[in-house]
Every structure is written in C-alpha cells, then in structure tokens.
Amino acid sequence: MQNLLELTLPQLADWFAQQGEKPFRARQLMKWLHQAGVADFMRMSDLSKGLREKLQAAAVIAPPLVKFEHASADGTRKWLFDAGVGNGIEAVFIPEDDRGTLCISSQVGCALECRFCSTGRQGFNRNLGVGEIVGQLWHAQRALRGAPNRLGGEIADRPVSNVVMMGMGEPLANFENVAQALEIMLDDHAYGLSRRRVTVSTSGLVPAMERLAQRVPVALAVSLHAPNDALRDELVPINRKYPIAQLLAACERYLAVAPRDFITFEYVMLDGVNDRPQHAAQLAGLLCGIPSKLNLIPFNPFAGAGLRRSPMERVLDFQRRLQDAGYVATVRKTRGDDINAACGQLAGQVQDKTGRVVQHPARASV
C-alpha cells in the first residue's frame, strides 16, 4: 500500500498515471490531503466514487502515530510520535502573536554528538522517511486547527506558518528524504509555505549544504556555537571534518541562492565555555563580511550534560558586544522548558545502533 504522505506532486502524478488515472488528479488529492487534512478518501467529494474506492484499495494516509502530547503553560505544544521498535521522535509547536512555528525532527536520534544536545547523547537509530517528516506537519495542522490561541481567539485554519528543521537529528544527514519533504511543504497544492518561512538547521555538513542550495534552497541556520576551531572541535565534533573556514565558505556560496539575504548563526551560551568577552570579539571578527544574524540560545540543561547555562547578564553583555560590532544579535526566548520542549531538550526515545535503549531522565513523567 502506498502511503500518499510520502509523495511529492510529480511523484503523485506518476502514481496516478500508473493507476490508469489522469495526472491532474494529483493536484486534487494534494489539496484534500495537505490543505484540508482529510484522511478519509470517501470524503474527497470531487473525486469519482470509483476513484475513491480505488484509492482505498491501493493507498493509505499514514502519518506517524502520536504516543503522547503535552501542552506548556506558555502555549507550546509537544508531540511524541511512534517511530517503531521502541523509538519515538518529538515535534514542537511554538505559537507567537504573528506566526506559528513547528519544529520538526528528521532522524531517530542523532549521530553527531554535540556536547550540549540531549538528542545526541542518546545515539542514533535511523533516518525518518518522507512520510514521517511530512506527517509531523500534517498532524500538527489538524490538531491545532480551531484551537484557542494565546490571545483568546481561535488559531487559524492553517496554524503552522513557519517550519524549522531543528528537532531531533541532523537534517542534512538525511538529505534526500528531507529534500522531498521540503518540496511538499513548499508546494502551493500542499502547504504552500514560503521558502523564507522554512528553515533548515545544520551543524555544518558542507557537501550537503551545496546540494541543498541546488535542490531546494530554503532559509539556512548554522549551529556554530564557537568562534574558533579548537573550541568547536570539542563542542561540535563534525567540525573536525568540516572546519570553520570550509563551513563559512559554504555559507557565502549559499547566500547566492538563499531566500533571505543573511545566514542565521546559532550560538548556545555555555557558562565559562564560550561566553567570555574574548569569544564575542573572536566571533565578530570571524563573521566579518558575511551577512549574518546571530541567535544566542540560553543553554537548556539536562541530566549528565556537565554544562551550565550562562548567567543572563553575561548573555546580554555578549549580545551588546556583537551589536556594537554591527551585527544583528538576538537572544532566543526559552519556550516550553516546563515540558522539555526547549531548544536542545528534545530527546524522544532512541534505541541506538548498539542496541542500548535510553530514555532521558528528564522525560520520566511521560
């Protein structure tokens, strides 16, 4: 049975042709599936009864199943989706007054082992399929439609206006599946998201950044976290393979096709590790000449991390130094930390390649 959530519009048109149907049926079904969120073929009223019966026999609409859902006091929503064989992945919806952002996972676990990220501490099991990635958005749209918003009204019919590939996993390590999922998100017959409103975050897989620029150039965020190779080698081990000079050169090339005229650099603030005045000065010099926005992220602690959050006064001093150097520098608002949904806290459930099953202690209430 074909899971229709896995197919881009051209793939769906080809599939319909194989069923002896006109390719234009793909556009109709995409709208029912992704815009209306309809999961019952028999409710797709502009399709003939015979076609609906054929779809019931040959296809399914199968997003990942929800195991748990949590709502934060600040309006953040988090879902734990079943990824099979003891595995779970997490997605988070963050409501703002002017937008709704969904943070989506791309892998079960992560193999990159960044020191400050609880997902990486769990190991890596597998890549998510296209349907599992798109299915997180499909479920969120359906679950949130008509729900109360933070201002007392109702969330719009299409509550997710922005998508960030910043959940569990390194998106560019699952390139083909992520690229196809992005194509579905951007398709006007599906979710119709603007390339400016879809962001892929990467720890610095340089060859895959080049492929993304050629295939589906959306907004780019780079997990930098250090202003020099020695420190970044320690915090973000992939830097040993693709050091900062190579990473920044790839960023400059990406700007030629990027939907925004800057690259976002993410920088988690770690007490006594990367938050000193000399680090701010190094960072300002490092990014000189690259149109940049710096997003300073207060570290969200987890058991066994061995790291502490920088005091807020130091974060603000770091921000001021970058702003004085001419950079746009913001401090990310911590959202959903009461349900372990904040940046760096997504842990899910991962059975890594060694067969070890780990559930992060912070999720004991789940």
40 with 125, same domain: the answer is no
Alpha-carbon separation of residue 130 from 127, 241, 247, 251 (angstroms): 10, 28, 27, 26
pLDDT at 51 over 60: yes
pLDDT of residue 348: 56
Q: Which domain holds residue 241?
A: 66-363
Give the whole-angstrom CA distance, residue 91 versus residue 104. Answer: 5
Using DSSP, state whether 8 is helix, strand or coil: coil
Cβ–Cβ < 8 Å for 329, 319: yes
Q: What is the pTM of this model?
A: 0.89
354 with 264, same domain: the answer is yes
- The CA-based angle 40-44-47, given to 5 degrees, is 130
243 with 212, same domain: the answer is yes
111 with 173, same domain: the answer is yes
pLDDT of residue 75: 84
Closest C-alpha to 64, from 126, 153, 154:
126
155 with 254, same domain: the answer is yes
20 with 87, same domain: the answer is no
- Domain tally for the chain? 2
17 with 122, same domain: the answer is no
pLDDT at 264 over 50: yes
pLDDT at 358 over 70: no
Give the whole-angstrom CA distance, residue 356 versus residue 122. Answer: 9
Report the CATH number at residue 38. 1.10.150.530
Please enumerate in sequence order all residues whose Cβ is within 8 A of that of 300, keeping only pairs 6 or more positions apart, or say none: 309, 334, 337, 342, 343, 344, 345
Report the pLDDT averaged over residues 318-336. Answer: 90
pLDDT digits (tens, 9 = 90+) for 215-239: 999 999 999 999 999 999 999 999 9
Give the whole-angstrom CA distance, residue 21 versus residue 12. Answer: 11
161 with 236, same domain: the answer is yes
The residue from 12, 40, 60 where one domain ends is 60
Provide the annotated active-site residues.
Answer: 90, 343
Report the CATH number at residue 287. 3.20.20.70
Q: How confident is the model at residue 344 (pLDDT cuts 50, 70, 90)?
A: very low
Q: How confident is the model at residue 146 (pLDDT cuts 50, 70, 90)?
A: low
Q: Worst-scoring range by mean pLDDT, 7-16, 149-158, 221-230?
A: 149-158
Cβ–Cβ < 8 Å for 254, 209: yes
182 with 220, same domain: the answer is yes
Please enumerate in sequence order all residues whose Cβ is within 8 A of that of 263, keeping only pairs 6 or more positions apart, or say none: 220, 221, 222, 251, 254, 255, 290, 291, 292, 293
160 with 30, same domain: the answer is no
